[in-house]
């Protein structure tokens, strides 16, 4: 990280000091609001992705949001929160490229405020509430810097009526392996065939490494989830995905998998239109099927792929 922007409001926050200590040579720039940098006009996401900056900020306003319709794993009350905006990985199909102007990482250091809001949300319901981390970022990828997972697991270990999903592609599982498995936390991995990982999921751990991490977590008693999302279509779809399922099923105890979900590749239409401008996002240039609000790249009927899976 070459440049760290720091909101004046959090300049003396303990977490800010801790994170800045990891980058002693980085330029430090004080700013008033993170949005001054993150949302400013005339930014180029793809160029910034080559050399992203870190923005340390305070998250005010709503910190816990209801998930969009369909974003759940069976729970009745579903919420997501983002302690970070943007992802360290560079998945060429990622919707964040269309959602944000900037590829810089925003880390909200006021985690206590997030936790307070989570506690208040839990109290609203008698049924268990589900919380999803990893909607606007990868839950674990930057954890060696943010130490978010440690704090988060600590909190949820005391919240019986709350469930947490940590969605990730990262193998940074040391903080989890150091702890006793929590029954109300699911560590869910997004999985794709290795050929797709290599072509489209730049900077992410290989499929084999992800399976290895899942296996280690399962062995230690953690609930694990498998997320086959997005399913990317290809002429050799059956071969690619068939091979991947064999690898996954051979490595894991499938009876002890907490949940499996799948979803075909889709993007809000506006994001898709914006992203096809970028030259390197080849996967988004496939012929696509557009409905009013969504685009999905397709080469064959969606049902064939879903049925195969």
Partner 1 sequence: MNPVCIITALPAESRVFIDALRLRHVQDCGWRLYARDHYRLLQTGLGKLKAAAATSTLLHAQPDISAIVNVGVAGGTHPTGTCLQAHKITDEGTATSWYPHLPPRRLTQGLRSTEVLTLDRMSEQYRTDAVFDMEAAGVMSAATVYLSTDAIQCVKVISDNPDSPVQAFSKRVAIAHMQHTVPHVLEMLRWYEQMEDSSIRQSEIRSLSSQITLEVRHTISEGHQLTRLLHRYRSLTDTVLDVQQLQTLNSATAVRQYLETQLSDVPLTYE
Q: Within 252-281, which residues bind partner 1 (CB under 8 A)?
A: 276-281
Whichever of 132 and 233 has its CB closer to partner 1, that residue is: 233
Regarding 235 and contact with partner 1 (CB under 8 A), the answer is yes
Query: The sheet that has 129-133: what strands, in order across it?
Result: 64-66, 77-81, 129-133, 162-168, 185-190, 223-231, 257-264
- Give the helix, strand, coil percentages of the chain, each rounded to 5: 35, 25, 40
Residue 249 CB coordination number (10 Å): 11
Q: Which residues pair with 259 in a beta bridge?
A: 225
Shortest Cβ 34–partner 1 spacing (Å): 11
Mask for 33-72, x = binds partner 1 (CB under 8 A): ---xx--xxxxx-xxx--x-x-------------------
Whichever of 127 and 235 has its CB closer to partner 1, that residue is: 235
Query: Among the candidate windows 56-64, 193-201, 207-215, 243-251, which touches partner 1 by CB under 8 A?
Result: 193-201
Regarding 206 and contact with partner 1 (CB under 8 A), the answer is no
Cβ atoms of 251 and 293 within 8 Å: the answer is no
Cα 161 to the center of its chain, rounded Å: 23
Regarding 248 and contact with partner 1 (CB under 8 A), the answer is no
Whichever of 25 and 158 has its CB closer to partner 1, that residue is: 25
Regarding 25 and contact with partner 1 (CB under 8 A), the answer is yes
Beta strands 3-7; 105-108: pairing state: unpaired
Phi, psi of 115 (to 5 degrees): -65, -35
Q: What does DSSP assign to residue 308?
A: H
Shortest Cβ 25–partner 1 spacing (Å): 7
Residues that bind partner 1 (CB under 8 A): 2-3, 5, 25-27, 29, 31, 36-37, 40-44, 46-48, 51, 53, 193, 195-196, 199, 232-236, 240, 276-282, 285-287, 299
């Amino acid at each position: 990280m070459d440049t760290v922007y720091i909101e004046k409001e959090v300049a003396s926050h303990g977490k800010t000091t801790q994170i800045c200590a990891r980058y002693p040579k980085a330029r430090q720039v004080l700013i008033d609001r993170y949005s001054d940098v993150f949302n400013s006009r005339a930014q180029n996401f793809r160029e910034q992705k080559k050399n992203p900056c870190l923005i340390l900020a305070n998250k005010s306003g709503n910190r816990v949001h209801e998930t969009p319709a369909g974003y759940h794993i069976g729970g009745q009350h579903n919420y997501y929160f983002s302690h970070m905006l943007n992802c360290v990985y560079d998945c060429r199909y990622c919707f964040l490229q269309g959602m944000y102007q900037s590829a810089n990482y925003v880390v909200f250091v006021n985690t206590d405020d997030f936790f307070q809001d989570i506690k208040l949300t839990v109290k609203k319901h008698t049924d268990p509430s589900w919380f999803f981390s990893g909607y606007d970022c990868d839950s674990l990828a930057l954890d060696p810097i943010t130490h978010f997972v440690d704090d988060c697991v600590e909190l949820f270990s005391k919240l019986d009526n709350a469930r947490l999903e940590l969605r990730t592609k990262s193998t940074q599982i040391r903080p989890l392996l150091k702890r006793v498995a929590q029954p109300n936390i699911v560590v869910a991995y997004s999985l794709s065939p290795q050929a797709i990982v290599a072509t489209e999921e730049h900077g992410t751990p290989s499929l084999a490494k992800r399976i290895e991490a899942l296996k280690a977590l399962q062995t230690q008693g953690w609930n694990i989830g498998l997320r086959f999302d997005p399913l990317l279509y290809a002429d050799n779809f059956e071969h690619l995905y068939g091979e991947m399922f064999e690898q996954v099923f051979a490595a894991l105890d499938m009876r002890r998998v907490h949940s499996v979900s799948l979803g075909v590749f889709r993007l809000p239409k506006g994001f898709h239109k914006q992203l096809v401008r970028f030259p390197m996002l080849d996967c988004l240039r496939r012929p696509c099927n557009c409905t009013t609000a969504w685009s999905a790249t397709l080469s064959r009927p969606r049902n064939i792929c879903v049925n195969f899976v």
